[in-house]
Amino acid sequence: MGRAGSGPETWSGAESVQEDSVDPKRTVDVVGRLVALGTVCPGDDRLHYQIWRDEEVQQGFNAPLPWPTFESWLAFWSAPERPPRRYVGTILRLPEEKPVGFVSLAPAGREPDLAIVLEAGSRGRGLGTEAMRFAADHVVRAFGLPYVVAGAFEHNRASLRMLEKAGFVRAPEEDVTEENRFGPGEVRQLGWRRDRPSSG
């Protein structure tokens, strides 16, 4: 799902378009059987905020959403002093190309952490697995990375299965323990890694 402290990320446009319409300005990076990965377009921010309002998503990142409105969320995440993500892509459910989630890569200079969020109705159907696999392949090629990492808390069995099916392997050296922001004690995020495929 993402490494500890990843939290929600966004593109800085705040214009609104109908969520379920195909945006003619969107370019598509990767097309698969279930999903495509496309550029983030105006209107996607509202969907991103709605996904982050889901407590299951917040618990998946151990990150409560402190912004009560879309406008306050957008102002924080689009502030000019925030380092930009190297890659943010919109997950488009096929065949209708409906935006249903996002993948993002941590800013340059940080561990190449790949994170994903999906709307509730699109989970458990293989879309996240395909999106993570495609996003990992895309970012290692596009940015010349030797690997990407991802994480999921040990209680989040669906995300752990998704990472394994997407070709990530356990990387215990990437495990992180942190304060549980939703209850007492601590939670442990299990680290996963996917190396760049060898050419040949």
CATH number at residue 88: 3.40.630.30
Mean pLDDT calculated for residue range 137-160: 95
In a domain, 12, yes or no: no
Q: How many domains does the chain have?
A: 1
Query: What pLDDT is attached to residue 64?
Result: 94
In a domain, 122, yes or no: yes
| Residue 2 clears pLDDT 90, i.e. is over it | no
Domain that holds residue 144: 28-195
In a domain, 22, yes or no: no
The residues with which 104 forms a beta bridge, in sequence order, are 88, 115
pTM value is 0.85
